[in-house]
Chains A and B, each alone.
Chain A
Amino acid sequence: MDMKVTKKKLGLKEKYKLLTRDLGWETTYQKKDDVFPYVGYEGIKIHDWDKWEDPFRLTMDSYWKYQAEKERKFYAIIDAHAQNNGHLNITDARYLSALKIFLQAISPGEYAAHKGFARVGREFPGVGTQVACQMQAIDEIRHAQTQIHAMSNYNKYYNGFHAFADSRDRIWYTSVARSFFDDAMSAGPFEFMIAIGFSFEYVLTNLLFVPFMSGAAYNGDMATVTFGFSAQSDEARHMTLGLECIKFMLEQDPANLPIVQGWIDKWFWRGFRVLGLVSTMMDYMLPKRVMSWREAWEIYGQENGGALFKDLARYGIRAPKGWNDAEAGIDHMSHQFMLGLYQWSFGTAFHSWIPSDDDMDWLSAKYPTTFDKYYRPRWNHIKKLAAAGTPFKNFGLAKLCQTCQLPVVFTEPDDPTMACHRETVYKGEKYHFCSDGCQDIFANEPEKYVQAWLPMPALFQDPFNGDIGAWMNWVSLKDGVDNGDFVGSQDQMNFEKWRGMATSNK
């Protein structure tokens, strides 16, 4: 890009002051509390909204200019991808499973974040905050749109992309991400900012977008790299907004500290559970891998998150309560979750597979203390069953965690041979949890989580009454086409056939 830089009449700070802060006004014929009715009930005390700092000082005119440039770059590549059979340049069709999960679980989350920021932008009284939230609301809808648009090119050729909206609402693994965003959207404005702006953007999106998108590049998927990095270029601003919000709350009143710490504890753990999906994408679904989930966690979780919590210690903030349990789970989670996805693959709108010997050697090198000891023997057993013509299917259903909505598939933090399961009885009803973290979250807000819609009970309710075929129709999943093992799937056969046609004259 060769962008003409015009001579500036106003300095950056002055322009920001005029085009952002001067847009606010004091209310006259309505009481301010009536205009902003939701800003007080969470207990956060703010004395001076003018102390809010927006480090990027981006004004709306510059915002549109740079966003337009990002869109031009994005669509140039999307066009090239469509014109040049870009879908045949990926390493192999196993890679598509990662994309399907992204489309079904993550892109709808972007749309939810858009709605959330549009709402909290209205609910905060500070004008700096309002403008920053407005920009982020527009960013998030752009992310949802560009992702859906980019992946629509794959929908022309492959299965499992066609019904992401139904998947988002109805299938079990997507409700993990959905419930995360529903939880955030039904919280107050400050909690929403911690949930999305801080935990999701600052602590977690690096793990979702940076190594995974770099992995997409490694696997030849130009379309995904482009929407990924185009979205991520906005995330840098979002992270800064999240960090600013947390600093602002802590500096405004010491009484805010325990409330903020409680939210950090809650939302770190909720976000970490959403990342369970991402761990399988990184360790198992990218045919060509950039780094393991463990390595990504060391860089973006331990090192980067650790630096942040060390810095916030001067306000009295400590690392999130689940931090050590998270660390204890890192070497296990992708394996335990992928084994779950494989055994329930009749109920997923993507394919899973038994890792090849090469893949298992890679996993063993990346997870020297856990893979050969706990997980290779299970995969080998499953492989034997598949070879004997009796592939392992688990038609039973695991309990779902009432908080994060994942099936209870993980083990105790200190014992990888013992399934982790917690129970709480509340008002005579029994609720199940996957971890201490999720049980604690429920204990703090039981009236919120007893209302959670859990995906799998739908199978046993009217009108399905346990009929899996009818349930599949309802979630728009075609049995034998969208689901099951990758080996022998239409996606596998079509990709090989078309790639053969693209590289020869037969």
Chain B
Amino acid sequence: MSTVFIALQTNEETRPIIDAIVIDNPLAVVLREPAMVKINAQGRLVIRRETIEEQMGRDYDLQELQINLISLSGYVDETEDTLTLYWNE
């Protein structure tokens, strides 16, 4: 199974987002590098709006991810509620 990843800037806004990603993807590996956080997962990574809202304490639009996104890999499937990265294989 190939790795998918998302890389986010290290800042106050992404802290609860990263926490939410880890809650929803317990097997994901979080790598903290200078100024960025890279999260790797095997085959599939799901980011959920509701979990981010719980961690952040406010409403959140998943498209706000665009602001702090550095890079990603895999195919993207985006709805109002989830952003999924995956390989088909």
Could you mark each residue 1-19 of chain B with 1 if its beta carbon is under 8 Å from any beta carbon of chain A, else 0?
Answer: 0111101010001000000
CB of B79, distance to nearest CB on chain A (Å): 6
Taking the closest CB of chain B, its distance from the CB of A305, in whole angstroms, is 9
- Chain B residues with CB under 8 Å of A307's CB are 2-4, 73-74, 87
Least CB distance, B78 to chain A, in whole angstroms: 6
Determine whether B55 belongs to the interface, using a CB cutoff of 8 Å to chain A: no
Partner pick for B68 among A206, A215, A233, A240, CB 8 A cutoff? A233
Interchain CB contact (< 8 A) of B73 among A5, A13, A214, A304: A304
Q: Does A225 contact B (CB under 8 A)?
A: yes
Which chain A residues border B72 with CB–CB below 8 Å? Answer: 236, 239-240
Is A308 in contact with chain B by the CB < 8 A criterion?
yes
Q: Is the CB of A215 within 8 A of B34?
A: yes
A214 touches B58 (CB 8 A): no
CB distance from B18 to the nearest CB of A (A): 15
Interface size class of A (residues with CB under 8 A): 35 or more
**The one of A218, A236, A311 that contacts B34, using a Cβ cutoff of 8 Å:** A218
Asked whether, in the complex, the Cβ of B67 is within 8 Å of the Cβ of A56, the reply is no
Query: Which one of A42-50, A65-73, A382-390, A401-409 is at the interface?
Result: A65-73
A311 close to B2 (CB less than 8 A): yes
- A190 CB to nearest B CB, Å: 20
Interface status of A58 (Cβ within 8 A of chain B): yes
Whether the pair A55, B78 counts as a contact (CB closer than 8 A) is: yes
How does the 8 Å CB contact mask read for A434-470 relative to B, with 1 for contact and 0 for none?
0000000000000000000000000000000000000
Is the pair B34, A62 in contact by a Cβ cutoff of 8 Å?
no
Identity of the chain B residue whose Cβ is nearest the Cβ of A206 in the assembled complex: B71
Bound state CA distance, A218 and B80, in angstroms?
36
A233–B13 CA distance with the chains assembled, in angstroms: 15
A235 contacts across to B, CB distance below 8 A = 71
* Chain A residues near B78 (CB-CB < 8 A): 12, 55-57
Whole-angstrom distance between the alpha carbons of A12 and B77 in the complex? 12
CB closest chain-A residue, reference B2: A307
The answer to whether A232 touches B73, judged by C-beta atoms less than 8 angstroms apart, is no
With an 8 A cutoff between CB atoms, is A314 at the interface?
yes
Q: Does A362 sit at the interface, judged by CB under 8 A? A: no
* Interface residue ranges of B49-64 to A (CB < 8 Å): 58-61, 63-64
Could you tell me if B36 and A214 are in contact, using CB atoms closer than 8 angstroms? yes
Which B residues are CB-close (under 8 A) to A55?
Answer: 75-78
Closest approach, in angstroms, between the C-beta of A170 and any C-beta of chain B? 33
Q: Does A210 contact B (CB under 8 A)?
A: yes
- CB of B70 within 8 A of chain A? yes
A240, B76: Cβ atoms closer than 8 Å: yes
A311 & B35 in contact (Cβ 8 Å cutoff): no
Interfacial chain B residues near A397, Cβ < 8 Å: none
A243 cross-chain contacts in B, Cβ below 8 A:
75
Against B, the Cβ 8 Å flags (1 = close, 0 = not) of A1-36 are 111010010011100000000000000000000000
A27 to B36, CA, bound (A): 47
Whether A360 is near chain B, meaning CB under 8 Å from some CB there, is: no
In the complex, are the beta carbons of A66 and B7 less than 8 A apart?
no
Chain A positions within 8 Å of B7 at CB level: 210
List, in ascending order, chain B residues with CB within 8 A of A210's CB: 7, 36, 70-71
A:199-254 near B, CB below 8 Å: 205-206, 209-210, 213-215, 217-218, 225, 229, 232-233, 235-237, 239-240, 243
A5 touching B63 in the complex, CB below 8 Å, given contacts A213-B35, A229-B9: no
Q: How far is the CA of A214 from the CA of B71 in the complex (A)?
A: 12
Which of chain B's residues has its CB closest to A72's CB? B67
Q: How far is the CB of B84 from chain A (nearest CB, A)?
A: 10
A148 contacts chain B at the CB level, 8 A cutoff: no
Whether A229 contacts B80 by the Cβ 8 Å rule is no
Contact of A311 among B59, B79, B88 (CB under 8 A): B88
Say yes or no: B87 contacts A290, CB within 8 Å.
no
For chain B, residues 23 to 54, give those with C-beta under 8 angstroms from any C-beta of chain A: 33-36
Chain A, Cβ-Cβ closest to B87:
A311
User: Which residues of A lie under 8 Å from residue B33 when comparing CB positions?
Assistant: 214, 290
On whether A66 and B71 interact (CB within 8 A), knowing A5-B61, A12-B80, A210-B7, the answer reads no
Q: Counting CB contacts under 8 A, is A310 at the interface?
A: yes
Give the Cβ gap from B88 to chain A, nearest Cβ, in Å.
6
Give A99 to B88 CA distance when docked, in angstroms.
Answer: 39
Given A210-B36, A229-B36, A306-B2, is A66 in contact with B67 using a C-beta cutoff of 8 Å?
A: yes
Q: 10 closest A-B pairs (Cβ-Cβ)?
A: A307-B2, A217-B35, A55-B76, A5-B59, A217-B34, A218-B34, A66-B66, A214-B34, A236-B69, A233-B69
Selected A-B contacts with CB under 8 Å, 22 pairs: A3-B61, A5-B58, A11-B80, A12-B80, A55-B77, A56-B63, A73-B67, A209-B70, A209-B71, A210-B36, A214-B33, A217-B35, A225-B35, A229-B70, A232-B69, A236-B70, A236-B72, A240-B76, A304-B73, A307-B74, A310-B87, A311-B87
Q: Which residues of A contact B (CB under 8 A)?
A: 1-3, 5, 8, 11-13, 55-58, 62, 66, 69-70, 73, 205-206, 209-210, 213-215, 217-218, 225, 229, 232-233, 235-237, 239-240, 243, 290, 303-304, 306-308, 310-311, 314
Additional A-B contact list (14), CB under 8 Å, known A214-B36, A304-B3: A12-B78, A55-B77, A206-B71, A209-B71, A210-B36, A210-B70, A213-B36, A214-B34, A214-B35, A217-B36, A232-B70, A233-B70, A290-B34, A307-B87
